[in-house]
C-alpha cells in the first residue's frame, strides 16, 4: 500500500525491541508495505520471556487473555495448558508467532541500540548500534519494554562474593541447578515471591533477605481443560472486546477472585462486622480479601483489609517470629504492583528456609561468603538478586536519545517522564514509544495495551502516508495537559499514598525522580481518549508535510 524505502541501511521504520510489542509492530508495518527493521539485544524474540527464566517465572494474567488477539488464526490454533502459563510456554508462544508470521528475517538479534538522534535537516532518525552500525529511518519506534533493564542495587562488597551470582531478570539460559547448594535471595517483589518456593524445594537451604514484606494473593493456578479452552475460543470475540473495554485489560473469563467464578468484588468491608470478616477469613483465607470493593478507595477500609491479611499470615506461618517478620505494615494494599503466588507463605514453614526481616537490621555489606546485616552474618553458596528493574524509563534513558535541535531525552525528562498519551514526546518528532510512561501499560494486561498502541501507531503512519505528511509531533501543550491528567487520575488513590514506595513512582531506583508514571484511568477509558484524538484530526499532535 505504502511505497517502501529501503536502501541498504535506510528504512521507513526502525523498531527497537522484539518482545510482544516489537513483534506485533513489525507485523503491522510489514502489512502496510513499509520497509522495517527490528533491532534486538537478545539472541531471539520474546523480550521479558526471553530474559526472565528464573525458577517459578510465569504470568499472573490468564493466558487465554495474556495473548495476541489480532489474529483469529493465532488465537484459535494455540492451546494454553494452564490458566497462567509458565515462562517456557509463553516463550514458546512468542517463538511460534515469530515462525508463523515469518518475523525473524526482519529482526537483527544480538544488537543493542546505543543512540537514536533526530536529524533536523533530513527529518529522519539516525539509529546507532553498539556494534557501530548506523541506520536511517523516518519513524523510530521504541518497543524497548517497561521492565527490561534489571536493577542490581549497589551494595558494599558485592564484588567480593565468591559464589555464583544471578539476577532473576537475566537468568542463564542453561538453567541453574541449586541441588545441594545453599542460596541467598534479595528481594520479595513478584519475581522473588515466584522464585522463593521453587528454589526452596531445590536448594539445601534458602535465606530470604526481605526489605519490605509484600501483600500477595494465592494464584489458584491450574491446568486448563480442553472443554474450557474450546468454550473460551468460541467466545473469543466477546472476551477480547470486553478486555479492551475493561480497566486492566483482564476480565478473568471463567476465573474470578480466589479461583471462584466471581469476577467483580461486590461487598464493602466497612459494612462488615468483625464476626463476618472472621467467617470470610476462616472460609477463604487470603482469597477473602480482594472480594471487598472499598479497599482501593478508602484508607480505613484498606486498614481493615491489612489487619485481615496479617491475621491470615499468623494462621499460615507456624513460627510466630517469622510470621511477624512477613507482615506488611505502614503501607496500603494496592499501592504496589499486585503479586500472586503459589505456596509462598507455606515455604517459610520449611526447615530449610530462613527469613531475614531487614526491618530489624539492614544489609551492611556483601562478604566473600554471604550477606552481613546488623543482625548478623548469613552465609550461602549462591546469591540471587530478585531486585527488579529500572522500570518504564530505564531502557529509553539507557540509550542516547536526542530529538529536534539535539535536545536530550534525559534533559527533557530530568524531572520525570513527560509524554502525550505515552505515545509521543514533544520535541521528538516521528518517535513513538509503545506502552510509554503516561499510558496504562504496567497497570494492565500488557498485551492489550501493546496491541492498542501498535494499532494506533500503524493507523497514524497510514494516515500520514495517505495525506503526504512527513512528520508528527506531540505539542508541548498537549503533553503538559496529559501529564496533568495522569497525575490527577492517580492522586488520591492507593497508588500514590504518601506511605507508598513503588517502582511505579520510581522509588526503587536511587536518584530517580518520584513521579507516578503509568496512566491509572483504565485501558477502556484510555482507548477512548486515543480514538477521540484521531477523530479530532490528531488533536494535540502537529502534522506536517
- Contact residues toward ligand FAD (CB under 6 A) are 16-22, 39-42, 47-48, 50, 52, 57, 59-61, 66, 112-113, 143-148, 191, 395, 399, 434-435, 445-446, 450
Cell 528456609 found at: 353
Asked if residue 211 binds ligand N01 (CB under 6 A), the reply is: yes
Asked if residue 444 binds ligand N01 (CB under 6 A), the reply is: no
Strand 363-366 to 370-373 pairing: antiparallel
Nearer to ligand FAD, 19 or 417 (CB): 19
DSSP three-state, residue 409? helix
Asked if residue 337 binds ligand N01 (CB under 6 A), the reply is: yes
Cell 536526542 found at: 402
CB of 499 to ligand N01, least distance (A): 12
Nearer to ligand N01, 506 or 521 (CB): 506
CB of 187 to ligand N01, least distance (A): 3
Asked if residue 87 binds ligand N01 (CB under 6 A), the reply is: no
Nearer to ligand N01, 153 or 513 (CB): 153
Asked if 69 contacts 451 with a C-beta cutoff of 8 angstroms, the reply is yes
Q: Among candidates 49, 70, 419, 495, which has minimal Cα distance to 243?
A: 70
CB of 242 to ligand N01, least distance (A): 21
DSSP three-state, residue 239? helix
Q: Alpha carbon of 88 to those of 54, 94, 109, 399: distances in Å?
A: 10, 10, 20, 29
Interface characters, 258-297, with ligand N01 (x: CB under 6 A): ----------------------------------------
- Report d(CA 476, CA 454) in Å as an integer: 23
Question: Element (H or E) spanning 473, and its range?
Answer: strand 471-474
CB of 329 to ligand N01, least distance (A): 13
Question: Element (H or E) spanning 373, and its range?
Answer: strand 370-373
Residue ranges in 95-154 that form contacts with ligand N01 under rule CB under 6 A: 147, 153
Interface characters, 47-66, with ligand N01 (x: CB under 6 A): ------------xx------
Nearer to ligand N01, 258 or 328 (CB): 328
CB of 69 to ligand FAD, least distance (A): 13
Cβ neighbours, 10 Å, residue 511: 5
Which one-letter DSSP state was computed for residue 319?
Answer: S
DSSP three-state, residue 50? helix
Q: Among candidates 127, 148, 171, which has minimal Cα distance to 39?
A: 127
Nearer to ligand N01, 94 or 103 (CB): 94
- Report d(CA 137, CA 119) in Å as an integer: 10
Binding span for ligand N01 by CB under 6 A among 189-197, 227-235, 374-382, 491-499: 189-197
Asked if 221 contacts 63 with a C-beta cutoff of 8 angstroms, the reply is no
Helices and strands of the chain, counted as H and E runs = 16, 20
As given in the structure block, the three cell numbers for residue 529 are: 481518549
For 506: left if phi > 0, alpha if psi spans -120 to 50, otherwise beta; the answer is left
Asked if residue 457 binds ligand N01 (CB under 6 A), the reply is: no
Nearer to ligand FAD, 14 or 366 (CB): 14
Asked if residue 212 binds ligand N01 (CB under 6 A), the reply is: yes
Residue ranges in 349-368 that form contacts with ligand N01 under rule CB under 6 A: 363
CB of 401 to ligand FAD, least distance (A): 10
Asked if residue 328 binds ligand N01 (CB under 6 A), the reply is: no
CB of 165 to ligand N01, least distance (A): 14
Asked if 302 contacts 333 with a C-beta cutoff of 8 angstroms, the reply is yes
Nearer to ligand FAD, 108 or 501 (CB): 108
As given in the structure block, the three cell numbers for residue 90 are: 509463553
Cell 480479601 found at: 289
Asked if residue 344 binds ligand N01 (CB under 6 A), the reply is: no
Asked if residue 334 binds ligand N01 (CB under 6 A), the reply is: no
Asked if residue 157 binds ligand N01 (CB under 6 A), the reply is: no
Which residues in this chain contact ligand N01 in the complex, by CB under 6 A? Answer: 59-60, 147, 153, 168, 186-192, 194, 209, 211-212, 337, 363, 386-389, 442, 503, 508
Amino acid at each position: 500500500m505504502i511505497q517502501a524505502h529501503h536502501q541498504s541501511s535506510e528504512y521507513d521504520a526502525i523498531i527497537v525491541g522484539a518482545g510482544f510489542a516489537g513483534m506485533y509492530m513489525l507485523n503491522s508495518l510489514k502489512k502496510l508495505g513499509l520497509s522495517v527493521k527490528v533491532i534486538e539485544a537478545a539472541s531471539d524474540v520474546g523480550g521479558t520471556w526471553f530474559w526472565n527464566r528464573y525458577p517459578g517465572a510465569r504470568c499472573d494474567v490468564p493466558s487465554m487473555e495474556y495473548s495476541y488477539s489480532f489474529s483469529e488464526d493465532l488465537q484459535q490454533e494455540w492451546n494454553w495448558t494452564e490458566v497462567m502459563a509458565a515462562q517456557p510456554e509463553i516463550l514458546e508462544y512468542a517463538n511460534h508467532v515469530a515462525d508463523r508470521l515469518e518475523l525473524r528475517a526482519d529482526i537483527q538479534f544480538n544488537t543493542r541500540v546505543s543512540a537514536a538522534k533526530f536529524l533536523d535537516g533530513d527529518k529522519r532518525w539516525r539509529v546507532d548500534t553498539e556494534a557501530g552500525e548506523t541506520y536511517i529511518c523516518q519513524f523510530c519506534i521504541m518497543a524497548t519494554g517497561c521492565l527490561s533493564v534489571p536493577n542490581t542495587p549497589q551494595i558494599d562488597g558485592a564484588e567480593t562474593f565468591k559464589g555464583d551470582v544471578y539476577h532473576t531478570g537475566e537468568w542463564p539460559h542453561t538453567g541453574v541447578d541449586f541441588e545441594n547448594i545453599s542460596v541467598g535471595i534479595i528481594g520479595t517483589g513478584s519475581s522473588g515471591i515466584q522464585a522463593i518456593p521453587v528454589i526452596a524445594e531445590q536448594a539445601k537451604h534458602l535465606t530470604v533477605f526481605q526489605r519490605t514484606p509484600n501483600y500477595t494473593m494465592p494464584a489458584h493456578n491450574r491446568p486448563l481443560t480442553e472443554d474450557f479452552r474450546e468454550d473460551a475460543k468460541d467466545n473469543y470475540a466477546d472476551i477480547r472486546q470486553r478486555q479492551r473495554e475493561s480497566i486492566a485489560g483482564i476480565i478473568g473469563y471463567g476465573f474470578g477472585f480466589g479461583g471462584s467464578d466471581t469476577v467483580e468484588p461486590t461487598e464493602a468491608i466497612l459494612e462488615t462486622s468483625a464476626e463476618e470478616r472472621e467467617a470470610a477469613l476462616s472460609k477463604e483465607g487470603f482469597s477473602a480479601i480482594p472480594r471487598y470493593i472499598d479497599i482501593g478507595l478508602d484508607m480505613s477500609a484498606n486498614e481493615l483489609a491489612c489487619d485481615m491479611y496479617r491475621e491470615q499470615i499468623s494462621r499460615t506461618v507456624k513460627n510466630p517470629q517469622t510470621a511477624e517478620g512477613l507482615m506488611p505494615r505502614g503501607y496500603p494494599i494496592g499501592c504496589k504492583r499486585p503479586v500472586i503466588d503459589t505456596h509462598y507463605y507455606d515455604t517459610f514453614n520449611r526447615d530449610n528456609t530462613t527469613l531475614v526481616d531487614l526491618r530489624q537490621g539492614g544489609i551492611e555489606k556483601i562478604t566473600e561468603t554471604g550477606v552481613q546485616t546488623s543482625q548478623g552474618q548469613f552465609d550461602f553458596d549462591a546469591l540471587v538478586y530478585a531486585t527488579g528493574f529500572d522500570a518504564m524509563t530505564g531502557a529509553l534513558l539507557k540509550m542516547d536519545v536526542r530529538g529536534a535541535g539535539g535536545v536530550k531525552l534525559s534533559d527533557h525528562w530530568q524531572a520525570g517522564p513527560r509524554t502525550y498519551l505515552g505515545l509521543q514526546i514533544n520535541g521528538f518528532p516521528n518517535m513513538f514509544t509503545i506502552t510509554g510512561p503516561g499510558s496504562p501499560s504496567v497497570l494492565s494486561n500488557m498485551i492489550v495495551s501493546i496491541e492498542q498502541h501498535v494499532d494506533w501507531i500503524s493507523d497514524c503512519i497510514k494516515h500520514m502516508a495517505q495525506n503526504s505528511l512527513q512528520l508528527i509531533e506531540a505539542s508541548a501543550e498537549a503533553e503538559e495537559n496529559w501529564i496533568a491528567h495522569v497525575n490527577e487520575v492517580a492522586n488520591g488513590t492507593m497508588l500514590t499514598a504518601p506511605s507508598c514506595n513503588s517502582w511505579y513512582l520510581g522509588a526503587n531506583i536511587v536518584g530517580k525522580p518520584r513521579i507516578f508514571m503509568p496512566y491509572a484511568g483504565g485501558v477502556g477509558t484510555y482507548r477512548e481518549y486515543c480514538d477521540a484524538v484521531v477523530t479530532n484530526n490528531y488533536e494535540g499532535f502537529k502534522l506536517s508535510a
